[in-house]
Structure formats: C-alpha cells, structure tokens
C-alpha cells in the first residue's frame, strides 16, 4: 500500500504532570488513509499522546501539524471542537440520556442530517435495528459500534481509538477488530489506534510506533518491527525472544546455541524468536526437553543445554515431546543488538 499525503505531523512533543514526565520526545507522521498504531505498555504515555492529538490537553513543548497547518504549539492551541478529529474512548463515553440514533447524530450538522448521513452511518455500522435502544441496554460489542459510528459520522479527517477492544472478551474483540478495520479501509478513514496488545497492533496497523517511557523507539511497518527491531526492548514488546549474551569478534559470535554472523563486533545480545528454533527428537541430541506447554494452535517447548541454560521453541503441535526427551535444534533466523549492559 502506498501513502503519499501526510495528514498529521507531531514533533518533539513533551508533557509532564507535576514532576512526572509522561511524554519525553514524541514524534509521529500519519499518512492519509493509513491505520497507525501506537503500541506500548500502560504508563508508556500512549493515551497522553492521543489526548494531545485530540486537543484535550496542551503539550508542554513541541508542535502538532495537520495538513501542514500548525494546530498546537507554544502559541497556538486549536480547541478539540475545531480539529475535526474523531475519538473513540476506551469506556466509549456514550451519552446515557440519548438513544443510539441520537448518540450517532450528535456530531452531525443540519445539512448532514438532511443528506441522510445518519441512516447511512447506522447502516454501515449495522446499528439500524438498535437505533431506538439506549446505551445501557445493548451489549459491549454494540456499544463499541455505536462509539465508532458516532465518531465516524461527521466525516473526521482522522479518527483516534483509545484501546478500543480491551473491554471486550477475546473472541468478540477479534471479530469486531476485523469489522472495524474493513470499515476504516472502506471509508478510507485515517485512524490512530492506541493499544497495549502486540497482536492487535501487528495485525491491524499499516505503521506501528513502539512507545516506551514517553519516547518513540521505532516507527515502521509491522513486518519491519517484528523482523528488524532496532533494540532489544522493541523486540521484547512485539514477541518473547530468547536473549543470549555474547561477544563478537571478526563478525562472528559464539553462543550457547551455536555460532552466528554479526554485523558488528563487541558485546552484544543475540535475539532468537521461539518460532525460529526447530526442535526434533534425536537420541544423540545435546539438549533435553524440560517442559512442553500445549496451546492448541501451537506448543512451546522449553529445553536446556548441558550447562543448564533454558531456551524456548515454538512449533506446530505435530510431535509430542515429553520432559527428558533428547532433542537437536535448527535455527533459521537470529537478530543481534549491541548489548544494553
């Protein structure tokens, strides 16, 4: 997919609450029509970033541009009602005294209403049959749809979604996620999704920013982030790799799991994702299975070497491993980072 029109550009945003710096250096480029993800654990500053973009809070420093117009910096602060940015709140914030139809119509102008925009949106979000119900009388998934419909109705330039699926059960979340993505793509709506769920970020977004401690660590496509994380922290935030310490000389690093090629010399961390290690039963193998946890769609095998170091491998559940089985391994891909310590 090619995006060529920059819609939001945020530069060096900072925000502190009292002594605590929540955002330290936040940068972001959002292209029109894309789904942009901000991935981070709670406390990483992701919700604050969203609130700055929406205009509910003012950054301490830095600037936000929309279509090359500054909407927020030291001197300007366009109020939220003038930004044309839609928002889906984590708790949905549906107005309890208005029914579904009135909630969705809330942000529509008289002209919009004349053009039947309301029914169009209700229809698009499959809400027509619930339109006379009140928010407290419909299910969580339906409430989520109403929140989305309400935000989409006035045709915002960008729509912000704050942890949109966390309050739903896993199955519902997955179903709704697919629905939302196809709706956003259909309507060519630009969206920014804040989430702590790596699977969600990787599967839904065109571009993902990994936010840690108020700083953007890496911004790239999901594939790039997963396969070429710039740091061990980023690698950890999108997977659970085996990390092995090593020291590289002449472009080669010796580790407990074998010798690998390295782009640089010195102390480094070798990161190997569990799915990149293939384990086979082998009576002459030099590793011993410690534990095998069965997940249904796959299984995770913990095994140790003669020195007692434990590693993890993820594989299809076709072979059954028992603790004590001897195994040999084959590694398909490794990543190396300069050591943190």
Partner 1 sequence: MKIPKGLLVSNLLILSAFLMPVFYMIWRFFTFSRSFESFFESWNVYGLLFNTISMFFAVVFSSVFIGLLISIFLVRFDISGSKILFTLCTLPLVIPSYIGALTYVSAFSPKGIFVQIFSFTGLSEINGIDGFLGSWIVLTLFTYPYVLLICSSALRNLDSTVEEAARSLGVNRFRIYTSVVIPRLKKPIIYSGLLVGLYVISDFGAVSLMRYSTITKAIYTYYEFSLMGDPIIFYSGLLIFLALIISFIQRSSDVSRAATVSGTPRVPAKVELTFQNKIFVYLFLITVIFFGLILPISVLSYWLIRGISLGNDVRAVFGGVVGSFTASIATSFLAILISMPIVILVSQYKSRLSSFIEKIILALYGLPHLAVGVSILFITIKIFPSIYQSFFALVISYLIVFLPQAVGGGQASMEQVKTSYIEASSGLGKSKIETFRTITFPLIYRGLLAGGALVFLSTMKELPQTLLLRPTGFNSMAVDVWSFASEGLFTQAAFSAFILLAISAIPTYILSTRNLSR
Shortest Å, Cβ 214 to partner 1? 22
Q: Which residues pair with 29 in a beta bridge?
A: 9
Shortest Å, Cβ 20 to partner 1? 17
Task: Answer whether 251's CB lies under 8 Å from 265's CB.
Answer: yes
Question: What tokens appear for 18 in the block?
Answer: 């009292």
Shortest Å, Cβ 105 to partner 1? 10
Shortest Å, Cβ 87 to partner 1? 5
Smaller CB distance to partner 1: residue 62 or 86?
86
Residue 258: φ, ψ to 5° = 130, -175
Per-residue burial over 128-166, b if 16 or more Cβ lie within 10 Å, else e, is: eebbeebbeebeebbbbbbbbbbbbbbebebbbbbbbbe
Interface residues with partner 1 (CB under 8 A) are 54-56, 79-87, 89, 91, 93, 95-97, 106-107, 150-151, 154
Smaller CB distance to partner 1: residue 74 or 282?
74
Please name the residue that has the structure tokens 């301490």. 60
Question: What tokens appear for 284 in the block?
Answer: 């002459």
Smaller CB distance to partner 1: residue 117 or 312?
117
Shortest Å, Cβ 247 to partner 1? 52
Shortest Å, Cβ 102 to partner 1? 10
DSSP state of 77: B
215-220 and 242-249 beta bridge pairing:
unpaired
Number of continuous H segments (helices) and E segments (strands) in the chain = 9, 20
Shortest Å, Cβ 26 to partner 1? 20
Smaller CB distance to partner 1: residue 86 or 214?
86
Shortest Å, Cβ 83 to partner 1? 8
Shortest Å, Cβ 75 to partner 1? 18
Smaller CB distance to partner 1: residue 149 or 279?
149
Residue 100: φ, ψ to 5° = -55, -45
Question: How far is the C-alpha of 258 from the C-alpha of 23, rounded, in Å?
Answer: 41
Strands (E) in the chain, as ranges, are 6-17, 20-31, 35-39, 61-66, 69-72, 85-88, 158-162, 190-195, 207-212, 215-220, 242-249, 252-255, 258-261, 266-272, 277-281, 287-294, 299-304, 310-315, 326-331, 335-338
Smaller CB distance to partner 1: residue 162 or 212?
162
Smaller CB distance to partner 1: residue 56 or 264?
56
Question: What tokens appear for 39 in the block?
Answer: 């991935």
Smaller CB distance to partner 1: residue 94 or 234?
94
What is the total residue count of the chain?
A: 341
Across the chain, which distance is largest between two alpha carbons, in Å? 78
Smaller CB distance to partner 1: residue 4 or 81?
81
């Amino acid at each position: 997919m090619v995006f060529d029109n920059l819609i939001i550009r945020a530069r060096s945003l900072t925000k502190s609450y009292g002594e605590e710096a929540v955002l330290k250096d936040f940068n972001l480029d959002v292209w029109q029509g894309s789904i942009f993800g901000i991935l981070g654990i709670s406390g990483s500053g992701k919700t604050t970033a969203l609130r700055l973009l929406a205009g509910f809070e003012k950054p301490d420093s830095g600037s936000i541009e929309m279509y090359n117009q500054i909407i927020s910096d030291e001197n300007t602060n366009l109020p939220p009602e003038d930004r044309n940015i839609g928002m889906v709140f984590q708790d949905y914030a549906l107005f309890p005294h208005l029914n579904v139809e009135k909630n969705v119509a809330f942000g529509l102008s008289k002209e919009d209403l004349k053009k039947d925009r309301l029914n169009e949106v209700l229809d698009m979000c499959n809400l027509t049959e619930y339109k006379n119900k009140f928010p407290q009388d419909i299910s969580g998934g339906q409430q989520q749809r109403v929140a989305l419909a309400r935000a989409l109705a006035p045709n915002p330039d960008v729509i912000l979604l704050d942890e949109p699926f966390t309050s739903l059960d896993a199955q519902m979340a997955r179903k709704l996620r697919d629905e939302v993505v196809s709706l956003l793509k259909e309507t060519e709506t630009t969206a920014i999704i804040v989430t702590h769920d790596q699977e969600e970020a990787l599967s839904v977004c065109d571009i993902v920013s990994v936010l840690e401690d108020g700083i953007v660590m890496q911004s790239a496509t999901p594939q790039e982030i997963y396969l070429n994380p710039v740091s061990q922290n980023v690698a950890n935030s999108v997977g659970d790799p085996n990390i092995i310490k090593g020291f590289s000389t002449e472009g080669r690093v010796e580790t407990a799991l074998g010798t690998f090629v390295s782009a640089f010399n010195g102390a480094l961390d070798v990161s190997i994702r569990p799915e990149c290690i293939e384990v086979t039963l082998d009576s002459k193998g030099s590793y011993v299975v410690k534990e095998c946890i069965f997940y249904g769609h796959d299984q995770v095998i913990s095994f140790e070497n003669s020195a007692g170091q434990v590693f993890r491998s993820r594989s299809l559940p076709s072979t059954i491993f028992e603790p004590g089985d001897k195994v040999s391994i084959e590694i398909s891909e490794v990543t190396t980072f300069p050591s943190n310590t």
